[in-house]
């Protein structure tokens, strides 16, 4: 009787031990699997961090390159403005000005400096100013040139020869100056004429002084932005 009880007890203990061993083994396997999953997740996170770090470094490098290129462009604009001011300093301040706006150099010439009233032919004073302008631009071959003709809002007198309205007047003056710039040595593919009539006034006032400010030709000089375009991944226009 005692032997059977001992045998039954031993069997029960053995079963409990085996069950405990099975539970412990399963728990170990689960922990092992959890560890492997955690390690895989950590490895993936480390890879993401490395990729983000590399991307950030690349962006910082591109930003530094762009900042350098923009600083060089600004320096080139300042130098161009200074050269133009030195070359054109002999003219009255009210008839000619040079300034930088929107990353471009604007040379603004009054109609009084360039043309007789209603005329599209440049006078002697205007020819001299254009000669000195061209001498500077020949040293800055990478600069693009836009010639914009502007008028006041006074309508052209009826019957004026070959000029129907202010559009005609502004376009013909811009074309005449463009032709002279190329005849004086600028490559034709650098220069573009445009007529604005009275739709982009320098002064919106109604006084005679305001109107005189609007009668002007603006020669807009644009720097070569190829390097900046290249940095930001944009194909420069030809």
Tens-digit pLDDT profile for residues 58-87: 888 878 877 887 788 888 889 999 999 999
Query: Is 60 exceeded by the pLDDT of residue 114?
Result: yes
Using a CB cutoff of 8 Å and minimum separation of 24, what contacts does 165-172 make? 165/197, 166/197, 166/198, 167/195, 167/197, 168/195, 169/118, 169/120, 169/195, 169/197, 170/195, 170/196, 170/197, 171/195, 172/120
Distance CA 125, CA 207 (A): 26
Q: For the structural domain made of 69-229, what CATH number should be given?
A: 3.30.1330.60
Reported as a pLDDT band with limits 50, 70 and 90, residue 237 is: low
Is pLDDT larger for residue 224 or for residue 43? 43
State residue 32's pLDDT score.
Answer: 76
Distance CA 86, CA 204 (A): 30
Please report, for the chain, the start and end positions of each structural domain, with discontinuous segments joined by +: 69-229
Dig out the tokens for 207 from the structure.
């006084």
pTM of the model: 0.72
Segment 11-25, tens digit of pLDDT: 655 555 655 656 577
Dig out the tokens for 203 from the structure.
């002064």
Distance CA 101, CA 223 (A): 12
Question: Kind and range of the H or E element at 230?
Answer: helix 226-232
Is pLDDT larger for residue 63 or for residue 221? 221
Highest averaged pLDDT of the listed ranges 116-130, 151-165, 224-238: 116-130
Angle formed by the axes of helices 124-137 and 2-87, to 10°? 140
């Amino acid at each position: 009787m005692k032997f059977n009880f001992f045998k039954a007890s031993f069997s029960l203990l053995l079963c409990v031990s085996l069950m405990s061993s099975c539970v412990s083994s399963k728990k170990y396997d689960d922990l092992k699997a959890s560890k492997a999953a955690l390690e895989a997740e950590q490895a993936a996170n480390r890879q993401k961090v490395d990729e983000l770090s590399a991307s950030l470094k690349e962006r910082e490098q591109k930003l530094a390159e762009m900042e350098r290129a923009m600083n060089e462009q600004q320096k080139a604009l300042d130098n161009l403005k200074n050269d133009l001011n030195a070359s054109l300093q002999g003219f009255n301040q009210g008839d000619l000005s040079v300034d930088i706006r929107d990353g471009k150099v604007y040379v603004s010439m009054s109609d009084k400096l360039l043309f007789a009233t209603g005329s599209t032919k440049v006078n002697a004073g205007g020819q001299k100013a254009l000669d000195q302008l061209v001498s500077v631009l020949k040293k800055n071959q990478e600069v693009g040139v836009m010639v914009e003709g502007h008028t006041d809002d006074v309508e052209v007198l009826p019957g004026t020869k070959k000029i129907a309205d202010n559009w005609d007047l502004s376009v013909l003056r811009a074309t005449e100056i463009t032709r002279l710039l190329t005849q004086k040595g600028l490559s034709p593919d650098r220069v573009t004429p445009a007529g604005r009539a009275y739709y982009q006034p320098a002064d919106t006032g109604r006084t005679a002084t305001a109107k005189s400010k609007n009668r002007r030709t603006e020669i807009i000089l644009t720097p070569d932005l190829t390097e900046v375009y290249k940095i930001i991944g944009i194909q420069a226009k030809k």
